[in-house]
Chain A
Amino acid sequence: MGLSIAEAKRRAVPPPFNRRKTMTTDRKIGLLLLLPLVVLVLGLTVYPIVQVISLAFQQQSLYSPESTFVGLANFNAVVSHEGFTRSVSNTFVFTFGSLALQMAMGLPIALLLNKEFPLRSPIRGVMLFSYLVPYVVAAMTWKFMFSDATGILNYWVRALSLPMPASPFGSLDWAMAGVIFVNSWKNFPFMVIVFLAQLQTIDRQLYEAASVDGATAWQQFYKITLPSLLPIMLVVGMLRTIWNFNNFEVVFLLTQGGPIGRTETLPLYIYRFVFGEFSLGRGAALAVIVFFVLLIMSAIYWRLYERTQERFK
């Protein structure tokens, strides 16, 4: 028996899509798949932060899991400690000194690598070298090169009578400059990569039009390149500020915060509280202070970024 045309049409149309039921199952599966990640984030990020904040209000020895609630005593002890002001000041000098030097090294090199010239690709690869080297290797290499016993740079500084100490990491006046330099040498390729990527998105026609209008190279840079780079400069500025602020390896490996606290930044100061004075509570209190300082600095950067975005819309 044949089907009526109306029946055939009815059967040809697929049953109505059960949107609610399907979405519910998808959501369940989606949530289930997200669950491990949520647990991971909570376990690896939120839990340690909560633990550190809790520890900041406890007195606890390094060799005992038992603790006593002491209120704000750890915060008082930390801010009134003899080296607190000095390490805050050192941290800002190290952070923004490194940021400035990394920008100053990264931007011209990115502009150069954005030009067409022979062997550009391999040279771009070589520029990444210092970024790929582990911190410990970078720091120890520079330390050896400036070592009094075996350092080749130490030898040349002395041989040429250069106006700097042959071993800057042991000099009261030059140690901070030394650690800023090594940190910048290690990390400037990050700036190069990011700036180069952004430079390649700038429409060439803008430069051609500006050139036709008689704009000089400086005017082209100031009016076209720099505004295009500004948003990304703020983003990398924020990231590098956080990373520099938290940097422990370079300073610890080169100077351990010395000489006489000249390079003791806040991360090293935390280390000193925890492993020098065996006070987990004071170390945690300082870590909490650092956390909130970084939050405020990130908020400032973010606000600046939003303003820049609005300006160039």
Chain B
Amino acid sequence: MKFGSKICATALIGLGLTAGGASAQGIEVVRYLSQETDPAVVRIQREWVKGFIEANPGTDIVLESAPAGVINQRIATYVQAGAPLDVVHSDPGTAARLAVEGLLAPLDDVVEALGGRDSFLTNRLLIVNDHVYAINQAATSPQLFYRKDLFEAAGIAPPSTWAEVRAAAEALHSDDVIGIALAGGENRMTTIMAGTMLWQNCHDFFDGELNVILDNPKAVEAAAHYADLLKFSAPDAAAWAFNEPPESFWSGRAAMVIHWHALDLMMRQNPDMVKNIGIAPVTANKMRATQTGGRYVALFANSPTLDTGKDWIEYIFTPKNAADLTGMSPLLYPPATSAAMEALRSSDAPTVASYGDLLFNTVYPAAVDGYSEILHAGGLDTETCELRSTGVVNPFTSVVWNSNLYARAVQKIAYEGEDPAKAVAEAARLLTDQVEQARAEMK
């Protein structure tokens, strides 16, 4: 046999073996791109996979984890490469943009199978043109966590207004204790926290027509307040992002922290400290507003395994599976449906036993102050300072949360002493440019 023929034959045999192996298996594989990296929660996800495969022979679920800050890049890489994606666990802004760009598959039948839209709690479904495109699996709102011992020793009551938080932070701040563990880096954590203060001050990034309205005295006042609070954060807060504030809090260094699930993490890291922690709703200024964040489960329209992907989403939202997740991390993954909320009340999960009263009396009721700027653009009335449902999906919030321009304005005020009005005006100008560019790029 000639040399060239030998190579061709070898290649053909190789190809034949590969193709034969693949077709012999005949398994429908669904990739689940999740932003969950917490080992305890990943363990639950693995249990789900095991149960799903047992219940659905001929299927397989491949778990792929990407941390919260990286998942957008992973999704974008798939899209740019033209590679099909299946189920993703996206942040709210990205989910909204993907839905508006027509990249997601409708999940109406999944929602029907789970009891219909009415069975879901407020702000759980991403609806565009009357179709559900994503389900919020972690509709959480940040709370104010504080150390009871430090507050009692100083004779300070849990703060409920901006002025009280500042006074408490100043009173408790010392060489050994940080008054309030706040991130000051140019990142999403700072943007979210400063954005929450923007809402509390009765203003917003966008109006109902999705125009940027950041260049406003109320936005300046909120940024200046955040920058002022950073005086009572850590000396290296300028480099802090998501992890440092809760780490500082559960290590015992900070008196207060604003966070989503600090107590869930503490329950595992430092359980003895849990009884020493109090939770108060985030503070109010002109209004009490907090972010309804979350992680949206969605299915890509170009998935080659649409039906199995839908089956998988339905499976992870069934009451039993949802309860397992909530029991492990009740502050991060509150129940998605009323039935699941009731089931949690009778749960014997250690988290519920340890701080169930805080969950049911403080954390979950705070959802009434939760603002979903993704699902209800223009829903924060800047005249009356009230929250209302508009149903206008905003695909541009991802620009706010990724460009971190408002965080940069806070940094300039806090660390460079820049005039707050000038810093916010510059952020507003750049944000407008980027939103207009995104608008032009969208279909």
Contacts and interface: CB of A to CB of B under 8 A. Distances in A.
Contacts of B236: 146-148, 154, 165-167, 169-171
Nearest to B82: A65
Contacts of B404: 276
A274 to B, nearest CB: 8
Nearest to B249: A149
Interface string A158-186: 10000001110111100100000000000
B226 interface: no
A176 B416 CA distance: 16
A65 B237 contact: no
A260 B186 contact: yes
Contacts of B161: none
13 contacts: A32-B7, A62-B72, A63-B75, A64-B101, A147-B236, A154-B236, A170-B184, A256-B186, A259-B186, A259-B415, A260-B411, A278-B399, A278-B434
B95 to A, nearest CB: 11
B369 to A, nearest CB: 29
Interface stretch (B133-141, B330-338, B435-443): B435-443
Contact of A170 (B239, B403, B441): B239
Nearest to A272: B403
Nearest to A259: B238
B37 interface: no
B440 A255 contact: no
A256 B234 CA distance: 18
Contacts of A278: 398-399, 402, 434, 438, 441
A257 B403 CA distance: 13
Nearest to A167: B236
A170 B235 contact: yes
A63 B238 contact: no
B79 A256 contact: no
B253 interface: yes
A158 B237 CA distance: 16
B205 to A, nearest CB: 16
Name the residue among A60, A148, A165, A278 with the largest chain B CB count within 10 angstroms: A148
A29 B6 CA distance: 12
A265 to B, nearest CB: 14
B108 interface: no
B240 interface: yes
Interface of A: 28-29, 32, 59-66, 82, 146-150, 154, 158, 165-167, 169-172, 175, 254-261, 275-280
Contacts, number: 130
The contact size tier of chain B is 35 or more
Interface in B93-132: 97-98, 101, 103
A62 B79 contact: yes
Contacts of B403: 276-277
B63 interface: no
A32 B11 CA distance: 14
B397 to A, nearest CB: 12
B98 to A, nearest CB: 6
A260 B412 contact: yes
Interface in B1-38: 3-4, 7
Nearest to A254: B239
Across chains A and B, which 6 residue pairs bring their CB atoms closest together, nearest first?
Answer: A170-B236, A167-B236, A259-B238, A61-B441, A170-B239, A148-B234
Nearest to B434: A277
Contacts of A32: 3-4, 7
Interface string B202-236: 00000000000000000000000000000000111
A170 B240 contact: yes
Given A32-B7, A256-B185, A259-B239, A147 B244 contact: yes
A258 B238 contact: yes
A29 B3 contact: yes
Given A62-B80, A149-B251, 16 more contacts: A63-B76, A66-B443, A148-B244, A165-B235, A166-B235, A167-B234, A170-B237, A171-B238, A255-B239, A256-B185, A256-B186, A256-B187, A259-B186, A259-B411, A259-B415, A278-B438
B283 interface: no
B244 A149 contact: yes
B78 to A, nearest CB: 10
Given A63-B103, A277-B437, A149 B402 contact: no
B265 interface: no
A284 to B, nearest CB: 12
B430 interface: yes
A260 B238 CA distance: 8
A61 B411 contact: no
A167 B187 CA distance: 18
Contacts of A82: 426, 430
A171 B240 CA distance: 11
B241 A275 contact: no
Given A62-B76, A65-B80, A170-B235, A149 B415 contact: no
A61 B416 contact: no
Contacts of B185: 256, 258-259
Contact of B238 (A29, A166, A170): A170
A276 B82 contact: no
A63 B97 contact: yes
A148 B235 contact: yes
A276 B402 contact: yes
Given A63-B97, A276-B404, A278-B438, A149 B412 contact: no
B174 to A, nearest CB: 13
A279 B238 CA distance: 26
A280 B251 CA distance: 41
A258 B240 CA distance: 10
Nearest to B234: A148
Contacts of A158: 175
A167 B430 contact: no
A59 B439 CA distance: 12
Given A29-B3, A63-B79, A147-B236, A256 B253 contact: no
Contacts of B238: 170-172, 258-260
A147 B243 CA distance: 12
Given A150-B251, A276-B402, A277-B403, A260 B416 contact: yes
A42 to B, nearest CB: 18
Nearest to A277: B434
Contact of A148 (B76, B253, B442): B253
B18 to A, nearest CB: 18
